[in-house]
Amino acid sequence: MTAVQSRAESTITVHNPATGAVSGTVPIDEPETVAAKAAQLVAAQPEWEALGPTGRKRWMLEWQGWILDNADRITEVLISETGKSHVDASLEAVATADAIAYWATHAKEFLADRHPKAHSPIYRVKRFTTAYRPYPLVGVITPWNFPFAMPGLDVPPALAAGAAVLLKPSEVTPLSAVEFVRGWAEIGAPPVLGLTTGYGETGQAVIEHADFLQFTGSTATGRKVAVACAQRLIPYGLELGGKDPAIVLADADLDRAANGIAWGGLFNSGQVCVSVERVYVEAPVYDEFVAKLAARVGEVQQGQDGDTGAMATEAQRDIVARHVDEATAAGARVVTGGKPTGVGTYFAPTVIADVDSSMTCMTEETFGPTLPVIKVADENEAIRLANDSPYGLSATVWTADKRRGERLARRLEVGAVNVNDALVNVFCPGLPMGGWKESGIGYRAGGASGIIKYCRQQAITTPRLPTQKSELLWYPSSKRRMAMTLAVMRAFAARGRRRFGLRPRNG
């Protein structure tokens, strides 16, 4: 079951995809409602900015405490609207709390004025300052796969920067976002975090009122978001689809590789933008690795109390089934799993062997619990096939030689590479997270850059020396002053004889 609209009441009814039970309802905000919420947030933003990083830190850490105190309830809400397992769902509140602490405690350092040095002695008479002022209103549109943790990645740095934030969650899973914003309100924090719920029209209204837009979702929708932002000339960040490769080299610890790839491909039922979706294995260890991977995947338990849960929507389950069916029809072999379980939207964890690069399970984003495996001759073929994709979000490399792993990482056309691990970079806000190619534009996190992205940068110059009544280039113009100015600029900028207005000697 998925979210359905009750047009008579203008609400969205949310169902648990694992059981079909009704989980709750949220209103469908019309554009006028979004406009009113945006105006209220913008009105409150100047006082929030004026608190400074230290003043904002107090509220953010209190909010973090509320999330940790209510983590059990948040987890249950997550399960009720996504069908996640308790294991998968329980990570979201704690991971969000960790992110809030990072941005709250580092904001003062990251937002401090910068004082770049003059590039030329001519300008050493000036003091240079780069100051950071937040965008008044940041719009954040999040997907259904991590309905609490995804806002947790994007909202805290924007708040820490001093912006107000209007959050629009997926219509499929809006209930967790209700809890996300509820916590901010219940601690009595300044009214600079708002929530709006609805469908595409609601999201479009957010774009129409935001000063910066952060979107996470499909590549197709991301293109439309980019066009809408471009029409308004507002900056934006997009994290879009992925088809992340794993490369298993012959010298790898195959047990660790099988365990890590199973987790990296099946966590949250494979509904992760950085899920392992393609596996390339060097020929000498291919058969052994496939056997180990199949054994590990076959042990994965599904259900609320298991390792992983249901698919979030029937449509997503059907995409997974289509990819598997098309692969087997083209000659691939299902080693384990391969079918819906017949309960809710569950799809059995699946390993597919004897795959080739033309199959849809290798070319299209699956976003489900499948691991197709290809045999390659060597690392060069693995790199070539891994890079042969319109996506470039992340990848993993498995090898006993860490230097070799890092060398191969630098040849992969992706925004992040984990050597002998999977997904770990997502939990590290000091690292940038962003996609290359059709996987996105811009980055989230990345230390200081993750908070500065939500700011307008302002250049300020002030004199270091007592000021005169005029400067060399000011009016009235003078050939003598201009000649002297150009001579000084040339002397500091050029090299060799050109510093003195002379041509270099021939030869």
- With 0-12 / 13-18 / 19 or more C-beta atoms within 10 angstroms meaning exposed / middle / buried, residue 185 is middle
Tell me which residue has tokens 């609490």. 148
Cβ-based neighbours of 111, under 8 Å, separated by 6 or more: 53, 132, 161, 162, 451, 452, 455
Q: Which residues contact 244 (CB under 8 A, 6 or more apart)?
A: 274, 275, 276, 277, 278, 391, 393, 394, 395, 396, 414
Say if strands 244-248 and 236-239 run parallel, antiparallel, or are unpaired.
unpaired
Measured in whole angstroms, the distance separating CA 155 from the mean position of its chain's CA atoms is: 12
Q: Is 239 a catalytic residue?
A: yes
Q: Examine residue 17 and say whether the peptide bond preceding it is cis (omega within 30 degrees of 0).
A: no
Rg over alpha carbons for the chain, rounded to the nearest Å, is 27
Phi and psi at residue 155, to the nearest 5°: -75, -45
Report the C-alpha gap between 206 and 203 in whole angstroms: 5
By DSSP bridging, strand 126-134 and strand 137-141 are: unpaired
**Cα-to-chain-centroid distance, residue 194:** 21
How far CA 443 is from CA of 29, 250, 451, 453, in Å, comes to 29, 33, 11, 9
Give the contacts of 429 (CB within 8 A, at least 6 positions apart). 99, 102, 103, 445, 446, 447, 450
- Say how far apart CA 443 and CA 321 lie, in whole Å: 32
Retrieve residue 398's tokens. 């498995």
Report the distance separating Cα 190 and Cα 194, nearest Å: 11
Return the H-helix or E-strand segment holding 89: helix 86-110
Helix, strand, coil distribution of the chain in percent, nearest 5: 45, 20, 35
What stretches of 299-435 show up as alpha helix (H) in DSSP?
A: 314-329, 360-363, 379-387, 402-409
The tokens for 174 are 């809006």
- How would you write 43-87 as a 3-class SS string? HHHHHHHHCHHHHHHHHHHHHHHHHHHCHHHHHHHHHHHHCCCHH
Between CA 264 and CA 301, with CA 269 as vertex, the angle to 5 degrees is: 95
Residue with tokens 């069908």: 83
Choosing from 239, 277, 282, 365, which is the catalytic residue?
239
Catalytic residues: 239
